[in-house]
Structure 1
């Protein structure tokens, strides 16, 4: 269970992120405690992916503070955030399509030199994602969308993250794969990895999340437990396709 008596693993304070003159994230506060699965839901263009990319260091922060494990990391470059245990599975998966599945997985461990540990983690990924093992020597670009998503998650796990950022993992996938992806996410959380999930399938995301934030127009407009937001009339109307 998440420990809310200690400092958050991640805290965003008044975070602002811009694309040129356009402010995409307009001063948000958000926090995650170790061991939590927290969702960020909202319509397209709400600022969810921008928020994840700012946490990962891919986008610069215009204003505000990003604290990770009690340390301000606003200007820490992305590769050093990975070293500190922060991994992103980007929207669209971002796999290396011309490399094999195995080469992709090993790219996830590029920051590590513990060969025995890497091999043990490879085996663990194979247990969690048997489809990935079956395709080990296949060129990654020939995998189905669901298989590519599993590979992207497996690659991120090879960096041994403390915090895993998942951007739209179920997008465009068949229902069976969506179910499998959410099973894997739950397994990862049970093993102690903290997860911040951006997900278009708000219904599933809220069912599995301890807490959630709703983003709209670059602002956080609602927050609460996954259960509470799942039954909130405004959320049901706006994001779950139900009449208020």
Structure 2
């Protein structure tokens, strides 16, 4: 796919819950290999947008174009097969399964057994803490370990585009730092990442570009660096 063609494009996308329009006609684009953030206050429509891209929520209007084709009517599991993975808010791990069973669930759509084992090793290199706990029941992990497991599981689906919803939420500062290091490694390996993150400071610091969302609309867009130094963004999201 040529670099100038976005891997993901949202064109005038609207998402509604009954009569309530949660997302009011947004445009957004991601190019291959980018780390792009979507920031905004609680209730702005960020998680709703990610869920619609992943296929767990229908869109009311507009177009979702992934890898050059419309995916409006493509079911969620088919989107995973096409290389689109979501790490949901709240992690969504299988708490009663072991860490290893959770990881292997990430590869359930794949049949390339030898490559799955290679990818498992890659995840272990990236997330050594997960490797140390393979036989442990996932529900007994700390919040930070569960978040790493959720990311590892998504990576085993071999994504081209990874959607990350609030990966640092509720985590100790040390884990937040580690999670962002992992996200950078994923981008270095060529995976495109769309990140929704309450910690706007960190998100903008690491992102090439970002979008600011307010009340279901995109109100600002720019490079991570430009938005980090934008007075409006600083007062609204960086606590200044």
Q: For the superposition of Structure 1 and Structure 2, which TM-score range results when normalised by the shorter chain? A: over 0.9
Structure 2: gaps spanning 5 or more residues: none
In 1, distance between residues paired with 2:121 and 2:169?
A: 27
- The answer for the alignment partner of 1:114 in structure 2 is 112
Contact 2:197 2:203 (8 Å CA) reproduced:
yes
In 2, distance between residues paired with 1:120 and 1:199?
A: 30
- Please state how far the C-alpha of 1:95 moved relative to its aligned partner: 0.1
**Candidates 24, 27, 34, aligned match of 2:25:** 27
Contact 1:12 1:67 (8 Å CA) reproduced:
yes
Contact 1:56 1:78 (8 Å CA) reproduced:
yes
- The answer for the alignment partner of 2:46 in structure 1 is 48
Length-normalised TM-score, structure 2: 0.99
**Candidates 142, 147, 150, aligned match of 1:149:** 147
In 2, distance between residues paired with 1:127 and 1:5?
A: 29
The alignment of Structure 1 onto Structure 2 pairs a total of residues equal to 240
Structure 1: gaps spanning 5 or more residues: none
Decide whether aligned partners of structure 1 residues 224 and 22 sit closer, same or farther in structure 2, where only a CA change above 3 A counts: same
- The answer for the alignment partner of 2:82 in structure 1 is 84
Q: Structure 1, residues 15-73: CA drift from partner, whole Å, max 9, x if none?
A: 00001111100000000000000000000000000000000000001000000001000
Task: Say whether 1:197 aligns with 2:198.
Answer: no
Contact 2:209 2:221 (8 Å CA) reproduced:
yes
- Please state how far the C-alpha of 1:6 moved relative to its aligned partner: 2.1
Aligned pairs for 1:1-244 (under 5 A) are 5-242=3-240
> SS at the partner of 2:153?
helix
Contact 1:35 1:193 (8 Å CA) reproduced:
yes
> SS at the partner of 2:201?
helix
Q: Structure 1, residues 173-207: CA drift from partner, whole Å, max 9, x if none?
A: 00000000000000000000000000000000000
In 2, distance between residues paired with 1:96 and 1:26?
A: 33
Contact 2:25 2:217 (8 Å CA) reproduced:
yes
In 1, distance between residues paired with 2:20 and 2:56?
A: 17
Contact 2:3 2:31 (8 Å CA) reproduced:
no
Contact 1:4 1:33 (8 Å CA) reproduced:
no
- Please state how far the C-alpha of 1:4 moved relative to its aligned partner: 8.1
